[in-house]
A and B are shown apart, each in its own frame.
Chain A
Amino acid sequence: MSLLEVENLSIHFGGLKAVDNVSFSVEEGEVFTIVGPNGAGKSTIFNLISRFYEATTGSIKFDGRDITKLGAEAIAPLGIARTFQNIELFDHSSVMQNLLVGRHCQRKTNFLAHAFFLPSVRREEIEHREKIEEVLEFLDLQAYREKMIAGLPYGVRKVVELARALASGPKLLLLDEPASGLSVEETQDMAFWIEDIQKDMGVSVLMVEHDMGLVSQVSDRVLAIDHGAMLAMGTTREVQSHPAVIEAYLGREED
């Protein structure tokens, strides 16, 4: 059984078919990438999976459970964490605070316990910080632990967002353009991290990315879409040489 199964997924905004009849599955421990030209519907698929949009038809199954009708806030506790294309961090908090919010779905105490800061809350806070320590070390963020997000450079924010997603202890990581706006070196770091996330942590990754270097380096399988419809699925090489994909990116040669 696959970790994530997307079947005949469609979303129509009026007459616009943003995603049309898309089916794919992400296996456990796999890096699965969705590629496609701008406006192809990649991020829309992400927003459907993280339940920000209501699907018109189709179903999404995670770990054998139908999540098509769940609320957006019910997704993280299941073990799906995501990042955003245009960084969505909490600007007026420190890196540590941001990662602690990432641990929100792992809390076991309620607000009354918090108000009196019972010993169980303190234990939990320490536990959160121990888990976050691992993530900070893994992504080399120790130097930024207490820094405010508002003062951090773009590249670091991108990594902090990845860290926040990892802090929640996910089974599936949704990365929306992890390399956009990053330098060549930073993209290379990102590629290594994604490989480690897959191999060492055993976390499956579903990714949207334009940088074909990164895509071919880390992806097990690639899905190409355009105008909301599936074009081709397979290894990076297969997809890149598929006539429909070439046509979507470069246009058709005039006969």
Chain B
Amino acid sequence: MRFQFKTSYNDDINIFKNRYHVFWYALLGAGLFALPFVLGDYYVAQAIFILIFAIAGVGLMMLVGHTGLVSLGHAAFLAVGAYTTINLEKLGVPFLIALPLAGIFTGLFGAFIAIPVLRLIGIYLAIATMALSIIIEDIIVMAGPITGGVQGLSVDSIKLLGDWVSSDIFTVDLYASPYKFYFLCLFVAVLVTLLTINLLRSSTGRAFHAIRDSEVSARAMGINVARYKTLSFGISCFITGLAGGLLAHYLGHINHEAFLILTSIELLMILVIGGMGSVHGAFFGAFVFGMLPLTVTVLIETFGAPLGINSATFPGLSTGIFAAILVGFILFEPYGVNGMWLKIRTYFALFPLYRKDMFKRQKTYLKTERMR
């Protein structure tokens, strides 16, 4: 059993709480760095997909997990980020500038949308954001000059520095150089994660948590609830916009079908499976979401063949299993994969003192209902 002995306030503030923390994350970093050199191109592409959805997940987590606002419309912001990036690149803006610009534009767009939408709460907020997702689908089809209409846009490979330096070193393509694409996504993912953690360990993040847990109390503490909700929406959309820019290049060709309402729901499912209210959760969820179709296919091919079952005889099996896993998590593990991970870690950290009811949710006391 290990005991954390804090000797200064910095121990409380730092990202890495102790040496073990540093060690394990260094190991993780080394593993992620070595990944493209170890795995084949197919799996690197899979890793890229997971990273892109993890970035979008971190973005949505800011809103859903940390501020307690549901959004069923984040595919719309993925789309805004994607089309903005592509169009900026078509205008000759280098990718390294186009992507952050697209992120900022998506963030401002999100904050603008947030002003009317965030007057709603709970299920009504979900409905309003869902409507946004549907509207954006139609807008993509209609806004031909920008989006290419129904045909969509084909996306060139990434030129990091645009036409300024047209060297092959700065050209990133999913097929020609998947490892470069991977490192680009990894870089953005690390950056976005750091940004999120920094916000969460300062008063902005605490204000988000306060709004999530008790709006009345947050206001009494001097937190401008409307402003912070808008800010949370903006930051969330900024991050999702970055993911959208990367997704456009990953897909190679985008039209409205890439940003259906289903994508919004999938993003939300990533968070539920990963574990609400934690940064880890977005990554765990994206991993499960990214690996599951593959795993199911491999399992069917391996074990189904003798029984005459293959993906052709059972189309949609993967989706079905995904749904079953989701239901399982909601019923048995509300804190998702991250919750499971915490339990396992605590079990070993406290061995042999772990009790089964340690993570049992406590009864909450009556709250003031009068002012809602």
Are A50 and B220 touching (Cβ within 8 A)? yes
Are A103 and B203 touching (Cβ within 8 A)? yes
Write the chain A residue with the least CB distance to B213.
Answer: A90
Are A101 and B221 touching (Cβ within 8 A)? yes
Q: Which residue in B13, B210, B277 is a CB contact (below 8 Å) of A101?
A: B210
A82 within 8 A of B: yes
Q: Label chain B's interface by main secondary structure.
A: helix
A117-125, A191-199, A246-254: which lies at the B interface? A117-125
Are B364 and A91 touching (Cβ within 8 A)? yes
Are A104 and B198 touching (Cβ within 8 A)? no
Are B221 and A92 touching (Cβ within 8 A)? no
Are B195 and A76 touching (Cβ within 8 A)? no
A92: B residues at CB distance < 8 A: 209, 212-213, 277
Q: Beta-carbon contacts of A105-135 to B below 8 Å, as 1s and 0s?
A: 1010101001111000110011001100000
How many chain A residues touch B (CB < 8 A): the figure is: 49
State A154–B363 Cα separation when bound (angstroms): 11
B157 within 8 A of A: no
Instruction: Report the minimum CB–CB distance from A157 to chain B (whole Å).
Output: 7
Question: Chain B, interface size: which category?
Answer: 35 or more
Are A88 and B216 touching (Cβ within 8 A)? yes
B89-97, B223-231, B315-323: which lies at the A interface? B223-231
Instruction: Report the minimum CB–CB distance from A22 to chain B (whole Å).
Output: 19
Q: Label chain A's interface by main secondary structure.
A: helix
Are B205 and A73 touching (Cβ within 8 A)? no
Q: Which residue in A76, A93, A150 is a CB contact (below 8 Å) of B221?
A: A76
Are B202 and A109 touching (Cβ within 8 A)? yes
State A169–B185 Cα separation when bound (angstroms): 45
B125: A residues at CB distance < 8 A: none
Instruction: Report the minimum CB–CB distance from B189 to chain A (whole Å).
Output: 16
Instruction: Report the minimum CB–CB distance from A206 to chain B (whole Å).
Output: 14
State A112–B264 Cα separation when bound (angstroms): 27
Interface core residue of A103, A111, A126, A168 (most chain B CB under 10 Å): A111
A73 in contact with B364 given A92-B277, A114-B203 (CB within 8 Å): no
Instruction: Report the minimum CB–CB distance from B59 to chain A (whole Å).
Output: 13
B235: A residues at CB distance < 8 A: 111
B199: A residues at CB distance < 8 A: 111, 114-115
A102 within 8 A of B: yes
B277: A residues at CB distance < 8 A: 92
State A122–B198 Cα separation when bound (angstroms): 10
B346 within 8 A of A: no
Are A104 and B220 touching (Cβ within 8 A)? no
State A50–B222 Cα separation when bound (angstroms): 10
B219: A residues at CB distance < 8 A: 52, 72-73
B150 within 8 A of A: no
Are B220 and A75 touching (Cβ within 8 A)? yes
A96: B residues at CB distance < 8 A: 12
Q: Beta-carbon contacts of B355-370 to A below 8 Å, as 1s and 0s?
A: 0000001101111100
A172 within 8 A of B: no
Are A105 and B222 touching (Cβ within 8 A)? yes
B203: A residues at CB distance < 8 A: 100-101, 103-104, 107, 109, 114
Are A86 and B221 touching (Cβ within 8 A)? no
A90 in contact with B13 given A101-B221, A150-B362 (CB within 8 Å): no
Are A150 and B13 touching (Cβ within 8 A)? no
B210: A residues at CB distance < 8 A: 90, 101, 104
Are B221 and A102 touching (Cβ within 8 A)? yes
A84 within 8 A of B: yes
* A153-200 at interface with B (beta carbon < 8 Å): 154, 157, 164, 168
State A117–B195 Cα separation when bound (angstroms): 8
Q: Which residue in B13, B213, B364, B368 is a CB contact (below 8 Å) of A125?
A: B13
Interface core residue of A100, A104, A130 (most chain B CB under 10 Å): A104
Are B202 and A114 touching (Cβ within 8 A)? yes
Are B214 and A130 touching (Cβ within 8 A)? no
Q: Beta-carbon contacts of B1-21 to A below 8 Å, as 1s and 0s?
A: 000000001101100000000
Instruction: Report the minimum CB–CB distance from A225 to chain B (whole Å).
Output: 18
- B residues engaging A (CB < 8 A)? 9-10, 12-13, 195, 198-199, 201-207, 209-210, 212-214, 216-225, 231, 235, 277, 361-362, 364-368, 371
Which 3 interchain pairs have the tightest Cβ spacing? A76-B222, A105-B222, A114-B202
A-B contact pairs, 12 of them (CB 8 A): A73-B222, A77-B222, A89-B214, A91-B364, A93-B213, A101-B206, A104-B206, A104-B221, A114-B203, A125-B9, A125-B201, A125-B202
